[in-house]
Amino acid sequence: MRPVRAQWIANAVGGTLAADVDTLVLGVDKDSRAIQPGWLYVAFVGERVDGHDYVPQAVEAGASLCLVSEPVDAPHVLVEDVQTALGRLARAYLALLRAEGEITVVGITGSNGKTTTKDLLAQVLPDVVAPVGSFNNEIGMPLTVLRADSTTRHLVLEMGASGLGHIAYLTSIAPLDVAVVLTVGTAHMGEYASPDDVAVAKSEIIAGLRPGGVAILNADDARVTAMVPPSPDPDGPFVAGPAVIRFGVSEADNQAIGLTSDRGRASFSIGGLPRRTLTLVGEHHVTNALAAFSVAVQCGVDPAAAWEGIAAAKPLSAHRMALTERPDGVTIIDDAYNASIESVRAALRALKMVAEGGRTFAVLGEIRELGEASVEIHDKIGTEVVRLRIDRTIIVGAGARPAYIAAVREGSWGDEAAYVDTIAEARTVLEESLRPGDTVLVKASHGSGLWELADQLVGGVA
């Protein structure tokens, strides 16, 4: 963070600065354990934890200022709502960075692939700040903005939406120079009436572009390509819209040519550049790679260098198609950070490709935030594993049980499908069954906790 004074922060958030306090602030965090000397501690009040209780720990760690909604015995700025104040602070801070230098702000949304695309850009853009993990909401995104400083030339932001208006709020904090829309799927369907409503929510990112901004859209997703209106009536008033760059396997500005796969790793060329094979596992990463390439070139990176960097890029965030080959000959694919029906299908296809004829095990937990569509979607997953001829399917947890019922109904008999209530039971089933040459996929929403099983299966093996 570029250093700012406490009074500047108070003015930016519309808060009251404690008397006789105008210290210099060098960074921001909401976790008292992460605070460093000279930082601002943001005291959120959550469902289970009140951040105000941890002000003493933050001060002991070196916090020079606290952002609070109730008075505390420490230098502080008092506001009505800490979350609103954090957004105001990030908005004012980004405006300050823009006024003092050149910074390109990239926003990424989509039902799937945001974090992977962000991780690719973090490895190919110069002087870049990108989110830690999956900081993509009204708290995480402002914190990412506040990590930028005077040396930052590219600020990459994930923008998630679990309802209409969410992305519009995020772009009001960080107006964009480049907006990327990856996919429109069923993630967070519990908050939407239909996929069309999801598309409306995702399209808010395009409305958040600054004048002269660029929209980078997935040509393979009809709901995404429809987000930019057609050219205006030549006889009507002229209305300048954003410039548009399309990417995809189908015809596009940046198109994947000659797509093949080698043990689940996609190989293709772009725009006359040499064919390369992605380090990332899963053909669905073609979308993410093309999007990252489009952004990098738009930001001025040499196309050849951008393509080489993206092809060689590694997964940076945990539990996202992380492949581990254990010493005992068993391969683990850990994709347990998050899930939608689209990402489950993609991961299952990758499992088949990586296994190359060896036995396949799919350990699947609940996809959350589906609302009334939960039973129907898990039912489809159970049908899918049978039709893909996965050798063993282990369904974990009551929320995912409809997938097990569907798999049995579709034709998984005997040991082909199993249901267990707990992660410990799932591990026992695997320990009794696995042998060299087997490949195991672990896939679920983060809240299901199945990522713990993935960690256990990997056991610290890199």
- The token pair at 59 is 């001060």
Task: Check residues 238 and 258 and name the one with the higher pLDDT.
Answer: 258
Question: β-pairing, 24-25 with 104-109?
Answer: unpaired
Amino acid letter at 399? Answer: G
pLDDT in tens, 42-89: 999 988 899 999 999 999 999 999 999 999 999 999 999 999 999 999
For 50, other C-beta atoms within 10 Å of its C-beta total 14
Nearest to 439 by CA among 326, 345, 344: 326
Residue 293 · residue 304 · CB < 8 Å: no
Sign of CA dihedral 293, 199, 281, 156: positive
Structural domains of the chain ordered from first start: 4-79 (3.40.1390.10), 102-312 (3.40.1190.10), 322-458 (3.90.190.20)
Residue 267 · residue 281 · CB < 8 Å: no
Model pTM? 0.87
pLDDT in tens, 264-316: 899 999 989 999 999 999 999 999 999 999 999 999 999 999 999 999 999 88
The pLDDT, as a whole number, for residue 414 is 75
The pLDDT, as a whole number, for residue 20 is 79
Residue 374 has pLDDT above 80, yes or no: yes
- The token pair at 62 is 């070196």
3-state secondary structure 173-195: HCCEEEEEECCCCCCCHHHCCCH
Write the Ramachandran bin of 233: left for phi over 0, alpha for psi from -120 to 50, otherwise beta.
Answer: beta
Residue 461 has pLDDT above 80, yes or no: no
Task: Check residues 232 and 102 and name the one with the higher pLDDT.
Answer: 102
- Name the packing angle between helices 114-124 and 285-298 (round to 10°): 40
Looking at every residue in the chain, the average pLDDT score rounds to: 92
Reported as a pLDDT band with limits 50, 70 and 90, residue 187 is low
- The token pair at 71 is 């008075």
Token pair 């995020």: residue: 170
